[in-house]
């Protein structure tokens, strides 16, 4: 039970980090809704592990990353539809110019914002799970 709560807190912090750094995601101002949002995203990681075990797929970084990305994409969509105060909006990426690499500005749709958020969240949570497994 102690391990469950430790992993829950880690994943909640990872979810909060992702929600705050991705530009198009607006978090709920109500604390109860914010905690419910973070708990739902954290449960996604536990659910992905259970789904992989049910499908008898070996648990490693790549499989955990892919399954968590797919499930968290669905959770982001569900949260946008049903969670009051949680919004995923369109925004403009201002572009990037670093000498040799030039990326022009473009509009980021809500679907792309969900994909970026779910990929970043699943990457961080998969790294945390892999590091915990190796220690």
Per-residue confidence (pLDDT) for residue 132, from 0 to 100: 85
Residues 29-76: pLDDT tens digits? Answer: 999 999 999 999 999 999 998 999 999 988 889 999 999 999 999 999
Per-residue confidence (pLDDT) for residue 133, from 0 to 100: 79
Per-residue confidence (pLDDT) for residue 3, from 0 to 100: 87
- Strand pairing of 25-26 and 87-88? antiparallel
Domain ranges of the chain: 2-134
Q: How far is CA 61 from the centre of its chain?
A: 15
CA 111/CA 106 separation, integer angstroms: 14
% the chain with pLDDT above 90: 67
% the chain with pLDDT above 70: 99
Confidence (pTM):
0.88
Produce one character per residue of 96-132: b if its CB has 16 or more CB atoms within 10 Å, e if not: eeeeeeeeeeeebebebbbbbbbbbbbbbbbebbeee
Residues 107-123: pLDDT tens digits? Answer: 999 999 999 999 999 99
Residues 84-96: pLDDT tens digits? Answer: 989 999 988 888 8
Per-residue confidence (pLDDT) for residue 73, from 0 to 100: 95
């Amino acid at each position: 039970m102690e391990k469950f709560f430790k992993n829950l807190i880690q994943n909640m912090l990872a979810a909060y980090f992702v929600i705050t750094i991705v530009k198009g995601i607006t978090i709920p101002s109500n604390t109860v809704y914010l905690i419910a949002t973070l708990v739902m995203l954290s449960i996604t990681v536990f659910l992905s592990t259970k789904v992989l075990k049910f499908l008898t797929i070996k648990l490693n970084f790549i499989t955990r990353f892919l399954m968590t990305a797919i499930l968290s994409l669905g959770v982001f969509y569900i949260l946008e539809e049903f969670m009051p105060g949680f919004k995923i909006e369109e925004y403009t990426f201002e572009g990037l110019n670093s000498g040799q690499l030039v990326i022009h500005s473009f509009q980021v749709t809500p679907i792309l914002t969900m994909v970026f958020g779910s990929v970043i969240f699943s990457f961080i949570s998969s790294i945390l799970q892999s590091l915990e497994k190796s220690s």
